[in-house]
């Protein structure tokens, strides 16, 4: 056998272990990169040759550099990301709505001793309103108590306007957040399409584009935070994403998503579909769509029903009463209307509190109507519910929805932590492990170099022998 063969075999070792050190170095460099999947070097024996009846090894080759990924766990992470983000975002949006109601109110005395201010809760200002009527009932001709009724009604009206205005703001913010999320989604899809093309080209060339795949996976995870996404892979290695049953991106194309408001509801459109896309139920986009289209309208309807019931009940009684003006007036509504979230008080009563109809028989000291109005808070309607029941049900519903979303968010967060740990356990970089590899590769490299040195000495000896003859 020629000495040169020994040299070639050792040289293969030098090359391979240098490449292996490169991979280890790359792993160490990315040890704090959460999107990185560690790479392992797969070594193989070089194809042996047969000579003089013996099979001779030809050293070592680098078979592949493989990224370590747990695809099953990654699939679970993508699925649960959507559920977590949906509930987390929903919890935030509904939390914004519930904070508008300022419940549970802690200052009950403000509703009984004075007219509450506009920062008070609706329950307190409603109680203050009915208490003002109760007080007026005992002294019906008191102008100051009549003014108190007007002030309490204005405070109640201000609270209702503030809540309605706040709900509108939440809706506007939700719509703006949706636009931002759709922009992020569209950018991610554009990048994935580009990465798909690069990855497919690399695969076709027999390369292993691990870093590109990691970057693409990071984008897919980002999209799973935004919406429910279905992920599959083509034979060429392209990630094929579908969103809301519509193709979002593949190797060659990507679609863009946008939102429009139709009849007060947000509709998601895709450039890849002529029909609206249903994105509710998953990711932050789903939470924003559901908050805008389902939750807030439901709360607004309940609030409007409550205010309309209050207005109608008060007006029905007030219109049967008599003022203490001269001449007395009858048939006057207390609230003029409730429109666009504003409960308006009859201006004629604001201008002249004596026009408030407190008397049931026209005498100035009769307070029957005031008493009846004061009793409205806890008077049952035909369905057996009181105004207080209606309001507490509304607040409780908002609280329950928010609590459910928060609890679900916490549950999915715990699950995701476990899955991410699982993924990190599989794909994350362990510095101890990498340092062990460094030592192994370094030792192998040194050994190969030593072999080359030895072979070189042998060759030199041989040459000297030939020179000596």
Partner 1 sequence: MRISDLEMSQTFIQNYNNINTQLNTLQTQIATGNKIQEPSDSPSGTASLIQWNSQLAQSQAYSSNVSTASSFVTDTTDTMQSIQTDVSGIMTTLSDLGNTTDSSNYSNYAQQIEGSLSDILSLANTKSSGQYIFGGTDESTAPYGYSSDNSSIQVKSSDISGTQVIKTSGSTTQQINMSGSQVFGTIVSQNGSIDSTTSVGGTVSDQSTVYDTSGNSYTLKVNYTKTAADTYNMTYDVLNSGNTSVLSSPPASQTLVFNSSTGNLQSINGSTPTQTQVNIPGSNINFSLDQSAVTEKSGTTSLSLSANQKTDIFNTLIGIVNSLKSGTALTSDQTQAVSDFNDRMLDNIAEAGNVTNQLTNTGTLLTSQQSQLTDLISGVQTVDAAKSATELSNLSYILNATYEVAAKIMNSTTLLDILS
Binding to partner 1, residues 404-433 (CB under 8 A) = 406, 417, 420-421, 424-433
3-state SS class at 353: helix
The Cα angle at residue 111 between residues 109 and 117, in degrees rounded to 5? 110
Q: Which residue has the tokens 């003022």?
A: 323
Restricted to residues 284-343, the positions that interact with partner 1 (CB under 8 A) are 324
3-state SS class at 384: coil
Nearest CA to 358 out of 177, 123, 86, 141 is that of 141
Cβ burial, residue 255 (10 Å; 0-12/13-18/19+): buried
Restricted to residues 51-90, the positions that interact with partner 1 (CB under 8 A) are none
Near partner 1 by CB under 8 A, which window of 56-64, 190-198, 310-318, 363-371? 363-371
- Least distance CB 401 / partner 1 (angstroms): 8
Nearer to partner 1 among residue 95 and residue 272 (C-beta): 95
Nearer to partner 1 among residue 291 and residue 359 (C-beta): 359
Helix (H) or strand (E) holding 431: helix 431-468
Restricted to residues 368-407, the positions that interact with partner 1 (CB under 8 A) are 368, 371, 374-375, 377-378, 388-389, 391-393, 395-400, 402-403, 406
Q: Both tokens of residue 1?
A: 């056998």
Q: With binding defined as CB under 8 A, does residue 4 bind partner 1?
A: no
Q: With binding defined as CB under 8 A, does residue 250 bind partner 1?
A: no
The Cα angle at residue 332 between residues 331 and 333, in degrees rounded to 5? 120
Near partner 1 by CB under 8 A, which window of 59-67, 118-126, 226-234, 332-340? 118-126
Restricted to residues 121-150, the positions that interact with partner 1 (CB under 8 A) are 123-124, 126-128, 130-131, 134-135, 137-142
Q: With binding defined as CB under 8 A, does residue 32 bind partner 1?
A: yes
Nearer to partner 1 among residue 184 and residue 302 (C-beta): 302
Q: Which of 4, 18, 29, 31 contacts partner 1 by CB under 8 A?
A: 31
Task: Report in angstroms the alpha-carbon separations of 55 from 11, 48, 451.
Answer: 19, 6, 20
Task: Report in angstroms the alpha-carbon separations of 248 from 25, 85, 137, 239, 413.
Answer: 36, 20, 67, 10, 27
- Least distance CB 248 / partner 1 (angstroms): 29
Nearer to partner 1 among residue 58 and residue 422 (C-beta): 422
d(CA 238, CA 248): 13
Nearer to partner 1 among residue 111 and residue 215 (C-beta): 111
């Amino acid at each position: 056998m020629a000495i040169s063969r020994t040299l070639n075999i050792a040289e293969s070792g030098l090359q391979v272990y240098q490449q292996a050190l490169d991979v280890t170095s790359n792993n160490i460099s990315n040890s704090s990169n959460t999107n990185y999947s560690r790479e392992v070097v797969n070594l193989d024996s070089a194809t042996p040759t047969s000579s003089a009846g013996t099979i001779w090894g030809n050293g070592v080759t680098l078979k592949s550099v493989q990224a370590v990924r747990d695809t099953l766990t990654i699939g679970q992470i993508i699925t649960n990301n959507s559920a977590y983000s949906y509930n987390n975002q929903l919890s935030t949006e509904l939390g914004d709505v519930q904070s508008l109601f300022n419940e549970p109110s802690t200052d009950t005395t403000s509703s009984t001793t004075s007219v509450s201010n506009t920062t008070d809760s609706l329950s307190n200002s409603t109680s203050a309103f009915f208490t003002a009527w109760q007080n007026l009932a005992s002294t019906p001709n008191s102008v100051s108590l009549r003014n108190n009724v007007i002030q309490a009604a204005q405070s109640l009206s201000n609270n209702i306007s503030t809540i309605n205005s706040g709900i509108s703001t939440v809706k506007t913010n939700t719509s703006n957040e949706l636009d931002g999320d759709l922009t992020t989604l569209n950018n991610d899809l554009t990048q994935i399409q580009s990465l798909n093309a690069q990855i497919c080209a690399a695969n076709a060339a027999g390369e292993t584009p691990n870093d590109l795949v990691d970057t693409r996976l990071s984008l897919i995870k980002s999209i799973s935070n935004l919406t429910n996404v279905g992920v599959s892979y083509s034979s060429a290695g392209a990630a094929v994403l579908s969103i809301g049953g519509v193709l979002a991106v593949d190797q060659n194309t990507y679609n863009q998503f946008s939102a429009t408001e139709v009849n007060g509801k947000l509709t998601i459109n895709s450039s890849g579909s002529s029909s609206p896309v249903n994105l509710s139920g998953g990711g932050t986009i789903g939470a924003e769509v559901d908050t805008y289209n389902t939750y807030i309208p439901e709360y607004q309807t309940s609030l409007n029903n409550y205010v309309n019931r209050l207005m109608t009940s008060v007006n029905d009684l007030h219109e049967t009463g008599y003022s203490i003006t001269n001449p007395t007036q009858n048939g006057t509504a207390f609230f003029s209307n409730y429109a666009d979230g504003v409960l308006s008080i009859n201006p004629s009563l604001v201008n002249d509190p004596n026009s408030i109809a407190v008397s049931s028989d026209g005498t100035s000291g009769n307070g029957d109507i005031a008493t009846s109005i004061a009793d409205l808070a806890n008077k049952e309607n035909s369905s057996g519910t009181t105004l207080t029941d209606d309001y507490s049900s509304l607040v409780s519903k908002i609280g329950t929805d928010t609590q459910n979303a928060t609890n679900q968010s916490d549950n999915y967060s715990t699950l995701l932590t476990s899955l991410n740990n699982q993924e990190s356990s599989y794909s994350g970089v362990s510095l101890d492990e990498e340092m062990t590899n460094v030592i192994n590769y370094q030792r192998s490299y040194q050994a190969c170099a030593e072999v080359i040195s030895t072979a070189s000495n042998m060759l030199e000896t041989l040459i000297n022998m030939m020179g000596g003859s």
